[in-house]
Amino acid sequence: MKKILAFILVMVLIATFALTGCSQPADTEPTDVDSTDEVTEETTEEALKVALVVAGGLGDRSFYDSSNEGIERAVEELGVEARVFECRNDPSLFNDQLVQASQYGSVVVIVGFEFYDLAQEIAVAFPNVEYIYVDNAIEGIDNLTTINYMENEGSFLAGAMAAMLTTDTSIDGIQEEKIIGMVGGMDIPVIRNFRVGYEAGAAYIDPEVKVETIFAGDFEDPAKGKESALALYSRGADIVFQVAGKTGEGVFEAADEMNRFAIGVDSDQRYINPDAIVASMVKGVGLSIFESIERILEGTFESGKVYHYGIEENGVRLSYGTSDMPQYITDEMMETLEEIREKIVSGEIVVPEEY
């Protein structure tokens, strides 16, 4: 009986070894596969994660929203994953949001002049993350690439347009002069660069046009924007260029109340009030962000470089809204503005800058 049991045990073991030898662990790659064998292989490539960090918040219908449009386009057309980190103008959140964004994404897009120093510190702390900082020019950090918009060129066109639209204004029945205005969010280099281009464009059309500027001291306060615009209109300005982010919404309110004109900025803002907003000086923020992400995916992105976006790169331009909106810019004016644009591209007109 014992011999029989031993024989059965041996046979079971032999059968077990035979089955084991015919099988192969699922995680083992086959070797020397014959070319006639059919092998189905599924590979999954992880999507690029992109974080957008804004100093303010979305919903400004201007600079921040334009940056997010570039991110949304990259999600739709390039298949990236994305997350937005808003700081709501709270300086205590700047560092934390940038760190969280750096832990989330392999690419971090930074929007806001407030991050100038912090962006450089964070880039050094996270050397494996690619940073894209818009509206600045910083060199010397390998993983920090900046995008510099030539807003002075776009503002030159806005100033020329305003000078063609303005009419003589009587002040207290004593004197007549042509006055246009500008409301800046804060007195900082980038806003002064808007102003110098705006003034130069107006002078190109008519050296007698006077340009008045008020800095509201805030990018998020429409009430201050309205107060500033009302002051300019009361001085005789009949058209005001808003370069103030969300604060600029107050400029539009003042233009509507005073039956005067306004010029939008960063995004095409005519839809907000097409009866008061004659045009917008658009910055291609979304375009530049999308193109940067596209270059990263293509392997043509130059890290640490300063990318310049001017008129020639479609980085700045005038937009007149849609065809169903009332048009205050005549065909003749548009022809003149197009000639000016071409002269800027060719170098015949050199637009001054203030940096």
What CATH number is given for 151-282+322-346 in this structure? 3.40.50.2300
> Quick one: pLDDT at residue 172?
55
For every residue of 288-320, DSSP letters joined together read HHHHHHHHHHHT---TTPEEEE-TTTTSEEEE-
> Quick one: pLDDT at residue 4?
39
pTM: 0.82
Helix (H, G, I), strand (E, B) or coil at 174: coil
State the CATH class of domain 49-149+286-309.
Answer: alpha beta
Query: Is residue 81 over pLDDT 70?
Result: yes
d(CA 283, CA 261): 20
Query: Is residue 312 over pLDDT 70?
Result: yes
Query: ∠ CA 15-17-22 to the nearest 5 degrees?
Result: 95
> Quick one: pLDDT at residue 179?
96
Block residue for tokens 């097409």:
274
Average pLDDT over residues 122-138: 96
Do domains 49-149+286-309 and 151-282+322-346 share one topology? The answer is yes
Indicate the domain borders of the chain. 49-149+286-309, 151-282+322-346
Assign 167 a pLDDT band (cuts: 50, 70, 90). confident
State both tokens at 335: 């022809």
> Quick one: pLDDT at residue 28?
28
> Quick one: pLDDT at residue 21?
38
pLDDT in tens, 229-276: 999 999 999 999 999 999 999 999 999 999 999 999 999 999 999 999
> Quick one: pLDDT at residue 257?
97
Mean per-residue pLDDT of the chain:
88
For every residue of 7-43, DSSP letters joined together read HHHHHHHHHHHHHHHH---TTSPP-S--TTS------
